[in-house]
Structure formats: C-alpha cells, structure tokens
Structure 1
Amino acid sequence: ARSLNIVQVISLSFCLPAVAEVKLRDDQYTLDHMRAFGMYNYLHLDSWYQDNVYYIDQFGRVMNLSVTLDTALQKPREVFRLPTDLTAYDNRLCASIYFSSSTWVTISDGTGRLYLIKSGKRGNSASEKWEIVFNEELGNPFIIVHSVSFVKSDKHSVAVLLLRVEKDELDTKGSGFHITLEWVTFVEMNKASKYEIYKRRILQGKSVPHYASIEPGGDGLMIISYKPFKFVQEKEEILEEKDDKKTTNEKKDPLYYWQQTEDDVTITVNIPQDITKEDVKVHFSPDNICVTLKDQPALMEGKLYSSVDHESCTWIIKENKRCCI
C-alpha cells in the first residue's frame, strides 16, 4: 500500500563545522566499498532515546540534536570530543557510532581506533558524562556494524562487531577484496570500571552483509549476506590469571550448510574421504531426514521445519566428498 500522507520534514540551519564526511579514494572502487562506506549514513539515531540523533563533525566532536515536543530541532550541542586529530590521517574511513545500551556507547574514529564509552543517561545533561573506559588501536580502519551490552558471570561485558573491506592477494579473478567482520568482546576488570579485550574473532566473506548483529546475550552472530561468512581465525585473548594459564577453543567445521529458495532446500554435508556412495544412506519422509554412513549412528537426523515432497527429494556425492541433498 502507498500512503498519500505528506512526510513531515524538520530542518535546522547552523554555521557549525560540517559533518566529517569521507570520500571514497581511487583504490576503493568496488561495489562493496560503495555499500559499506560510500552510502554511509552519518546521522546516528539513538534507539534508546529516540528523540535524539548524533553526528561527528570535522573537529572530531560528537554533536547531539534533539527533537522537542513542538517538533523542532534544538541547536546542536557537543557531548564528547575525540582525542584524535582526524584531519591528520589520509587513510581513514568515516567515523561511526553505535549505542550499545541506554548508558554505553562505542565509537570508531575511522583511523582504526575503537573507543568504549560509559555515557551515563543520555539526553539528560545533569547525568550525562561521556567517559572513556577503553581506547586502543585495533588494526586497519573499520566501521562499527553493531554493539550490545550484557552481563555474564556477574561481569559486565560489551561486544562490538567491526567491518573492514580488505585487499585479498589470493583473489586473482574477483574484485581483489574480501569483507572482514571482527567480533570483539570486552569485559569489566574491576570496580574501577576498567575494561579489557576478552575475545577477538575474525570472519571473512565476499560481500558486504545486508544485515549483521550480535545476539543480545553476546553468544552468537546473526548475518544475512549474499555470500557466506566463515571463521578464519579465533584469536582467544583470555585475560591472564595468576597462574598465567591460557585457554583456547577448538575450532570445529559445521556439520552441514543449508540454502533455500522459494521451491527448494539444499543441504550440503561433509563426509569422510574414505566413504563411497554405497556407504551413504539418506532416508526422506515428509517431515524428517536421516543421513547415515555404513553401520555408524546417524550423521544427521531431525525433524524438518515444514513438510517437503519427500518422493521428489534426491542426493548426490560431489567430487570434494560432500553429500548434496
């Protein structure tokens, strides 16, 4: 349905320094660069206080604009200033902000530095005080895609999802770039509100996600993208204890990959190299599937979300020892 109602427009003219806009360079020529950085929205809505929007100006100041009850914009006010001189960096991206909770903010200055900020209750000048609790260089420039604040094991944590478009020296036939998502988790160290990196995990793909976010409890990611993302590095930075022990997680490949169109569901299952087609058995029913190898317990078995035409279901073994169902 198309509405004929007039969209209300609120505007304000002011002579303050402009938004810190960053133009794409000549070496940022791909569609992914355009989607990630060239079409970036520099006006950030605070979803916790929806009458407030923010932007970063050319002096590195975080400016707040609020909408009053009479639907008018108040004059911008400075709530925070980045300690970095943005104009001194040639290789930088647009600065980005994400509001992790009603009292926590994450900021990228576009140079590769991330700020974790305790803001207090925003929109109320009496209790609003932006305090940096983490400030560190995290590698190549990035933008912030998403961030969440949560409590786990009685400790406050903040998880941030960063996006980069990076040169891929091994890609000789494609664009020459890949997309990197870095999932960083911070944890509170002590009552002095000092925070340190707890985990850094890296994923790579070949297209900018249509949507990417961290689950509210910080336990996983939700990604919608044209091409898949895979973990390429699980860099555990577990905080050192007194005995100086390090904890590492074992990486495991997924049991299967799943794709769906309007008509078909395709499941790809990895099978051992010594398995032949005669060793594989796939049983279909309208609402269930079972895959077994030789006389072993079921490799994959379970109830389907909805009914399928089980008499039309087929499967093949591909050359790379994958069972495609």
Structure 2
Amino acid sequence: MASSNYTLKVNRDLLDPNFESYRLSLDPIPTYDVVLDAAVEEVTLKDCQYTLEHVRAFAMYNYLHLDPWYDDSVLFVDCKGRVLSLTVTLDTVLGKPREVFRLGTEVERREDRVCPSLSLTSATWAALSDGAGRLYLLRTSKRGDSTHGKWEPLFTEDLGEPFIVLHSVAHLQAGAHTLEVLLLRVVKDPQETAGSGYSVTLEWITVANAPGQGLEKNYEVKKRRLLRGKSVPHYAAVTPEGDGLMVASEKPFAFTHLDGQPLKQPQPAAGEPPVDLDKLDPVYFWQQTSDDITANVRLPEGVTKDAIRFRLTADTISVGVRGSASLLEGQLYASVDPEACTWILRENKSLEVSLQKRTEGPVWPELVMGDRRGEHVMSDEQAALVRERLTHLTSEDTHANPDLDKPACNSQELEDCDGYPEDTSSLVHFDGESLETTQVVNLGSHQYLFTVTADPTLMPCLCLRHDVDALLWQPRPDRPADMWEHVATFNALGYVQASKRDKKFSTCAPDFSYASLCECLRRAFIYRQPSPADGVLFNRKQGRRVGQVAKQQVAGLASDKVVLGFRATDERLFALTSANLFVLKVNNK
C-alpha cells in the first residue's frame, strides 16, 4: 500500500488574527488537597539508563491518570503497589483515595525497572504495567463511584523487558472481545554502534478471547507487532477499531517483526547485489524557473520512442517503459497545464519533460510528492538570486553592519521560544493489516506540545504549535481524505509555553475551555479562552473597544515536593506530588 503525503488543514474560523494577549486575573482559584497515607514512588533513572530517550520516556512520565470515561476521576500507583482511585463530587469533602487493585508481591526490583503505568481501555477495562515487564488486563466493571469493588485481572503475562503502556482500546472483532495494547521500551541495540547503543521499540499486542465465549473465558495473545525507531514518540495511539496505528515522532518508525518473526524485506533478483537505497544514483534530475519545470528521466539503454509510456494530468504524472515498473509516478507538488507540456527523447538515453506551472512564481520544493529519487539542480542564475535575497540575513561576521536598515541576523538575540525542531518530525498512519504507512504528515516547525483525550470513544487529540498558536488536532481514521481535524485553538499558547523554562506538564480541558501549564514545583498557569469583557474596555493604542478578554491565572501549590502528575477536566485541575493530591477548582458548571 503506497503512502501519500498529507498536509494538516487549518480551520480558519478557529483562528483569531486580532488576539492581543492574556490579561492577568487575580480571581482566586479554590485549591484543596488530600494527604496521601503512602508516598507515590518516583522511579529514578539508574546508571544503565543514561540516554536522552530514557529521560524522555521515563523521567518525565506523568504518574497521574485521568479516567476519560467518568467525570473528575483520577488514578495513580503508590509505593506499596496499590492502584488508588479518587472521584471528586464535592470539593470540600474529598475523602481518601480508594484502593482498586494491588500489584503482586512478586514484582521484581530489577535494576532497569521503570515506572508503573496505566491506561483506561474502556468504561469497564484497564491495562496496567508493573514497570518490571508484566502486563495486566483488568476488568474494572463501572468505575467512578466509591461503591465499586476491586478490579479483576483476566489476563497477566510477563513480556520480558520493562515497558510502559502508552495506549489501549477495546473492540469486538469477529465476535471476540479484543483488546489492543501499545507498549514502549528503550532497549539495547547492538546495531547502534555509532550512537547511544539503545533504540526505541513500540510493541502492539492484540489480546482476545474465543468468539462467543463471553467475558469470563481466558484471554490470550493473538498477535504481536514490533516497530523500531531512534526517538521516543511524542504521540502513539491505536485506532478505535484496532485496524491502524498513528505515531508522531522526531525520527521515523517502521515495523520490523510480526509474532516474533522478522518481516521479510524485498529481495533482489538472482545474481543481483543487495540494493543500498542511500547510495542509489538519482532516477531523474529537474530544474525550475518561476513559470516552468524541466525534468530529465534516465532511461534503460536502447529504449525507443515507441516503448515510452507517458501519462500526464493537471496534478499527476507517470513516466515508464513498456514491460517495466514506472520510473517517475505520483502526485505533482502543484498543478500544471497539460496542454502546454511536452516531452522528447534525448539520444535514447533520457526523456526530457517540460511542464508549464499553472501558477507562476512559487518555488516547488519537490517535483513529485514524497518521491526522494530525484535531484533538484539549481541554475547559476537562481543561485545568484537566492544569495542576493539572503545577503541581509547572512554574514561571516556576527551582527555585521548593525547600522543598516536591515542588519544581519544575530542568532544570539533569538529567544528559546523562537526555536523550532528539526524538519524530520512526522505524523504517520500505519495500516494494521499490511503494516505499511498510508499517510504521512511532515510536521516540520509544528512543535508537539501535549496529548489530551477529548472523547474517550475517539483517538486522543494531539496539540501542535502553529506559529505562535497551539492547535488541537483530532485524528479521524475513518476519514482517509481528512484524517486529522482541527478542533480547537489556544491563542499564543505555543509562544507562551516555550517561554516557561521550568514547565514540566501541559494539558487542556476536554471541552477546550482552558489550557494549563505546570512547573516542576509549586505553580500552575491557567490560560482561558476569550470571554465577553466585564464592563467597557478600550485598546489605548488602537482606540477601539475590546469585546473579549482572555484571562491568565496563576495557582500555587502548598508543597515543596516535585509535581509528578498533572491532569485537567472541564471543571478541575489535578496535581500529584509524592505526598499530596491537589484539586484546583477552575470552572463551575
């Protein structure tokens, strides 16, 4: 199955070009806390867990888990191995967290143990890791009240290397109750001789009972799929029907094993050496001007004009030789005028294709979307023009000619919030059957901010920075043509969060009424959506009336201990330290 490049489509109706700033509000935020009878154990990294990926995966882990199926219900695991649940109905009478499950005493205190992790699979199921390599699938019945009993383990298995549970879903497949669980590991990799010696793996496990036997029968592993990459994913989740997987990461992931067996890679024909894709010569070369494209496609020796297969539409191109695979095929970066395009055979060695751009001016970064087999050749005239346009931005001397109207850029003057990640970040959808990518989004400068579950029946949303704003995207795997929907915007939050040097956690309310940032110690910042202004306000600079105001609030936590977990509901914020669980009343509904 061929993958296609996809561009995130911003809903302009959800943007506010006139947004000015957040106004600090001194309105108090009622804060309540529960003193824990046993500490939340923070699993610190060991000497053998020294890489940046260990830090990203485990040192910054959110120990507090929000139950998206029940309002204002949170869970966490303490140092005694107890899974504790707290549901808030009245803030002034919080009560104590209630034990719903306890990890076995046989939990191995291995040197590379990681933090216990929990995923609320459905309204009646949960997936739990003990941090030492054992997975529990628990039937919880209905949660969210104090009368509910203990959770019942219906599946438990030691899966080897320690892991954390990233995501899980439950669905019916061919009449069988099926659970999909996604696990994350950072493991030693002997092939990583030039790097840290570790790689990141995602294991996608399918557990199910026999069709028609109900929920009381034994569950067993039906399928195991392994992906490997070189960076901890920002976002990874299974589709609700268990037929696909989405991963957002700085470095690409690829499936390597199925049910413990390595996936077969395409083999060269008999007598041909293995193909090294990184050392292949370009299949075609192409140049461009402001109004046309010229591409030269290499042809096998001795090809005649009659053997050429050429097809062109306004948006697609296909070039090949009869009896062979296509040499150049796919969607063009932009539209062309088919009537004004021509091709000619050059000395039976190459095919020269001339394309007329339908829109003059814009520079194409690539000829065919996602095709990396070509090489863009820049003319001397184009290179000179680029150098001329960039002269005021580049210099061998830092801040050369500062008296000019447009002095050279000095990188030392840039703030941290002006930085962007590398252009290799991507958001990928994998097909669950073929294990191939179907759609790829190049995130580029769209820095990942956080993940939140707005609707538990759908996939978690991911929040990305677009310029200074933070845009929330809801995956829609059932709509291949529009797989990621822009559902909310937090004005200027992308710029704000980058300026918070001590920020540890970011989140937002499921109804998108506010976003919040939490520092490592004591403080949480709340950024509300614009609301009608109280009274009459005017912008002094522009002399116009201000109809809406976006408020910023700061809440302090009465604790000197590190914040280990942070979650938001429509009405409340929850912050977890090793000794306290704080509840902040943000909205009244």
TM tier, shorter chain? 0.7 to 0.9
Q: How does 1:284-303 map to 2 (within 5 A)?
A: 286-290=314-318, 292-296=320-324
Of the structure 1 ranges 25-34 and 285-294, higher mean CA displacement relative to structure 2 is found in: 285-294
**Counterparts of 2:24 and 2:328 in 1: how far apart (Å)?**
52
CA contact (8 A) 1:10 1:73 kept: no
Q: Could you tell me how far 1:167 is from its partner in structure 2?
A: 1.0
In the TM superposition, what is the alpha-carbon distance from 1:217 to its structure 2 partner?
Answer: 0.6
Contact 2:126 2:138 in 1 (8 A): yes
**How far has the Cα of 1:2 moved from its partner?**
3.1
Superposed CA offset, 1:209-253 (max 9, x none): 0100001111111001111111111117xxxxxxxxxxx997577
Q: What residue number does 1:323 align with? A: 373
Q: What TM-score does the superposition give when structure 2 sets the normalisation length?
A: 0.45
In the alignment, which residue of structure 2 is the partner of 1:260?
none
Verify: 1:193 aligned to 2:217, yes or no.
Answer: yes
Tell me the alpha carbon deviations over residues 51-83 of structure 1, each in whole angstroms, 9 at most, x when there is no partner.
111110111000012222447643211111111
**1:90: Cα distance to partner?**
3.3
1:110 to 126, 131, 135: 131
Residue in 1 that maps onto 2:182 = 161
Shift in CA distance, 74/324, structure 1 to aligned 2, threshold 3 Å = farther
Question: Does the 8 Å contact 1:62/1:81 carry over to 2?
Answer: yes
TM-score (norm 1): 0.78
CA contact (8 A) 1:148 1:218 kept: yes
Question: 2:256·2:263 contact (CA, 8 Å) conserved in 1?
Answer: no
Map of 1:35 onto structure 2: 56
* TM-aligned CA deviation for residue 324 of structure 1: 4.0
The residue aligned with 2:192 is: 171
Summarize deviations over 1:138-172 as a string: whole Å, max 9, x none: 01000001101011111110000000001112212
Q: Which has the higher contact order (CA 8 A, sep 6+)?
A: 2
| 1:4 counterpart letter in structure 2 | L
Aligned pair in 2 of structure 1 residues 308, 12: CA closer, same or farther (>3 Å)? farther
SS class of match (2:115): coil
Q: Percent identity?
A: 45
Distance 2:309 2:55 in 1: 47
Give the total of aligned pairs.
Answer: 292
**Gaps (5+ residues) in structure 2?**
1-20, 267-276, 281-296, 301-307, 337-354, 358-363, 376-589
Distance of 1:291 and 1:113 partners within structure 2: 53
Paired residues for 1:184-223 under 5 Å = 184-189=205-210, 190-191=213-214, 192-223=216-247
Letter in 1 for 2:95: Q
Q: 1:42 and 1:89 mapped to 2: Cα distance?
A: 20
User: Secondary structure in 2 aligned to 1:200?
Assistant: strand
Per-residue displacement from partner, 1:1-59 (whole Å, max 9, x unpaired)? 53634684634242411112100111212111111000011011111113111110111
Matched, 1:4 2:24: yes
Confirm or deny: 8 A CA contact 1:162 1:182 kept in the other structure.
Answer: yes
Tell me if the contact between 2:133 and 2:163 (Cα under 8 Å) persists in the aligned partners: yes
User: Displacement, 1:290?
Assistant: 3.0
Structure 2 residue identity aligned to 1:108: S
Cα distance, 1:172–1:16 mapped onto 2, change above 3 Å: same
Residue 54 of structure 2: SS of its match in structure 1?
A: helix
Q: Which residue matches 1:65?
A: 86
**More divergent stretch after superposition (44-53 vs 127-136):** 127-136
- 2-side partners of 1:234 and 1:54: how far apart? 33
